Structure formats: C-alpha cells, structure tokens
C-alpha cells in the first residue's frame, strides 16, 4: 500500500469535452451530477499543439457555479497571464515547469495573487522537479497523456510516478493534492486511486456520457466513495 493516509477522492471534469454551444448548461449539469471541481484547460497553440479558450470564458462561467475553478495552464510564457486568470475567478492555477525559466517565481506570483498553486508533470517530466518547490504547492498534477487533446489513451507508466509523488507528499506532511489528468475513465480511475491520486480529471468520460451523475459516480468508484464517507466521519 502506497498511501500513508486516507484522502477524499474528488472528481474534476474537464470543460474541454463539453458542448461549447451550451457551456452554461454543461457546467450546471456536472455540478448537479456531483462533480467537485471544474477543470479548465488553457491551450495556446505554442506550448501544446491546440488552442482552447482564455480568461474571458473563465470569467463568464464563474458566477454560474460554486465549484472551485481548477485552471490548467498549457501556455508559454505563463507568467504574463497569471493575474488575468486570477481575476477571472481561478481558485487554483497549475503550470508546467517547461513553460518558463522561473518556476519558483511563477508560484510566488500565484500565491501573491491569493490563489492556490499547482505544478504539472508531463509524461516525460521527472518527479525530481517537484522537490525544490514543494513548499509552494497546493497540488501536483500528473499528466497521464501528452497534453493538448482530450480523448487520448491513459499512459499506464505514469502510475509509478503517482505512487512516488504520494510518498513524497506524505513524507513532507504537507496538505498537497495529487491529481491525474488524461484518459481517466471508470476503468483507469481505480488504478490512479490505488497509486495515491486524490483528484481525478475526466473530460470525455464525463461530458461524453449520457448520464453525467452515473459517470461521476463510476469514476469515483466504490473505493473513492467509501473513502469520502470515512473522511466525512473523521
């Protein structure tokens, strides 16, 4: 068992897989379906080979839901846009170490804006980048696909990275969430939870499902649901 403690399991649907002609209804539907956070994938066509949306969309959606906004920046440079996403309503801002030369400064900026900070590890990025900035972090995100597109297949070799990071977080004693993003489905989610993840991002598996509540429940799974009941009682 890699987990030293029990962590509630949160589900963060990625808006990237929503129907963009009906964004307001989509956000309200997944909140009603039991989603915990809204994951917002920001892509610039430079850091990743796709373009999604920017702070104006984040701002427009903010009044529609109480779900925390989990903003995943796949942009380079990220620093000039941190304030815009904070002002638009981000609760947590995550960025990739490859996005710029001053990772520590980026996290200082995010924290200075009063927001939570996350670091994102691509499948080819080693866990070692995390240690020097661990004290700045509220979240570590392990990419289980190469970023840029929804609907890709889960890369199982990332499970070892999740387990290694779970060990690092538990040894640190810090309150840091461990998130996984890419190809998360009812089939792959239990492996992520077992490895130590406690926030599961899912785009296609939630927005592509006819019954979003059933999809959220299936991804959380019986182990996640039991753990959340345990946590609520503690």
Residue 41 interacts with Zn ion (CB under 5 A)? yes
Residue selected from 55, 183, 196, 224 as contacting ligand DX5 according to rule CB under 6 A: 183
Our CB check for ligand DX5 shows the closer of 5 and 153 to be: 153
From the list ligand DX5, Zn ion, none, partner contacted by residue 166 (C-beta under 5 to 8 A by kind): none
CA distances in angstroms from 58 to 32, 91, 156, 181, 228, listed in the order given: 19, 11, 31, 19, 28
Is residue 4 helix, strand or coil? coil
- Where would I find the beta strands (DSSP E) of the chain? 10-13, 38-43, 69-74, 92-95, 116-121, 139-143, 177-181, 199-202
Window 123 to 152, contacts with ligand DX5 (CB under 6 A): 145, 147-148, 150-152
Please identify the residue of the shown chain whose CB is closest to the bound ligand DX5.
203
Angstrom distance (rounded) from CA 70 to CA 89: 10
Residue 184 interacts with ligand DX5 (CB under 6 A)? yes
Residue selected from 16, 95, 99, 162 as contacting ligand DX5 according to rule CB under 6 A: 16
Residues 6+ apart with CB under 8 A from 225: 9, 217
Q: Was 182 annotated as part of a binding site? A: yes
Q: What are phi and psi of 69, to 5 degrees?
A: -95, 115
* Segment interacting with ligand DX5, rule: CB under 6 A, options 19-27, 131-139, 188-196, 201-209: 201-209
Which residues are the active-site residues? 41, 181
Q: Which residues bind ligand DX5 (CB under 6 A)?
A: 14, 16-17, 39, 41, 72, 145, 147-148, 150-152, 181-184, 201-205
């Amino acid at each position: 068992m890699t987990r030293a403690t029990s962590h509630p399991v949160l589900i963060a649907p990625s808006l990237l897989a929503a129907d963009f002609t009906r964004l307001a209804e989509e956000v309200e539907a997944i909140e009603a379906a039991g989603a915990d956070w809204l994951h917002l994938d920001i892509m610039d066509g430079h850091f990743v080979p796709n373009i999604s949306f920017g702070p104006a969309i984040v701002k427009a959606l903010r009044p529609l839901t109480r779900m925390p906004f989990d903003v995943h920046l796949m942009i380079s440079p990220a620093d000039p846009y941190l304030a815009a996403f904070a002002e638009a309503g981000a609760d947590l801002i995550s960025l990739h170490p490859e996005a710029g030369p001053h990772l520590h400064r980026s996290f200082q900026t995010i924290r200075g804006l009063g927001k939570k900070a996350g670091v994102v590890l691509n499948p080819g990025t080693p866990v070692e980048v995390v240690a020097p900035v661990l004290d700045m972090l509220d979240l570590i995100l392990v990419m289980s696909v190469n970023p840029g597109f929804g609907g890709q297949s889960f890369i199982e070799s990332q499970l070892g990275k999740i387990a290694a990071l779970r060990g690092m977080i538990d040894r640190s004693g810090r309150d840091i969430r461990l998130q996984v993003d890419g190809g998360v489905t009812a089939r792959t989610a239990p492996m992520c939870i077992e490895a130590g993840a406690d926030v599961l991002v899912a785009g296609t598996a939630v927005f592509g499902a006819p019954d979003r509540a059933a999809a959220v429940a299936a991804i959380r799974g019986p182990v996640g649901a039991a753990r959340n009941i345990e946590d609520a009682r503690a």
